[in-house]
Amino acid sequence: MTMLNRRDWGARAPRGAYTTLTRTRGVKVHYTGDHVDPGLVNDHARCVAVIKGIQNYHMDNNGWIDIGYSMMVCPHRTVFQGRGPGHLPAANGAGLNSDHYAVLGLVGTSGLTRPPNDMLLGVLDAIDYLREHGGAGQEIKGHRDGYSTDCPGEPLYAWVRAGAPRPPSGTR
């Protein structure tokens, strides 16, 4: 696992103070809800650009203080720090953020839709990190649980529903 802190990936500073979150019931898993260029599987620099674009969209279009996710995961088992542990996310839907941290898997509605095994391992790394550093509980759910959305898409949601099993490493 590679962990990128905000300075590492060139995150913009949040526009305001985070709301503190000391413990949650668990984590909700998300996808981008958009096209994801499958070429990024062979070019990690593109992953960084996509994550920066999502932060820009959340701050400039949604008017949020920061990217909405707690952590983000690309196909290279790289975990990006978003709002991070101990901070209220904004991605789960109004009223649903204090119960679960929000972790993004970098797949979408077209292009890259199926999470490679290394991405699933990265999501599990992010969940372990949020449990250790942010009091995340045992639940692993999808954005669509309790909120009307297709997120996190069928392939990622099927994995969540199966109990988020740990895939073999080093395979795609």
We find the least distance from the C-beta atom of residue 74 to Zn ion, in angstroms, to be 3
We find the least distance from the C-beta atom of residue 47 to Zn ion, in angstroms, to be 3
Strands 78-81 and 100-105: unpaired
We find the least distance from the C-beta atom of residue 149 to Zn ion, in angstroms, to be 6
When binding is defined by CB under 5 A, the residue of 6, 58, 76, 141 that contacts Zn ion is 76
Q: What is the CA 89 to chain-centroid distance, rounded?
A: 10
We find the least distance from the C-beta atom of residue 166 to Zn ion, in angstroms, to be 20
Q: Which is nearer to Zn ion, 22 or 94 (CB)?
A: 94
Q: Does 156 bind Zn ion (CB under 5 A)?
A: no
Q: Does 126 bind Zn ion (CB under 5 A)?
A: no
When binding is defined by CB under 5 A, the residue of 6, 30, 58, 100 that contacts Zn ion is 30
Residues that bind Zn ion (CB under 5 A): 30, 44, 47, 74, 76, 78, 143, 151
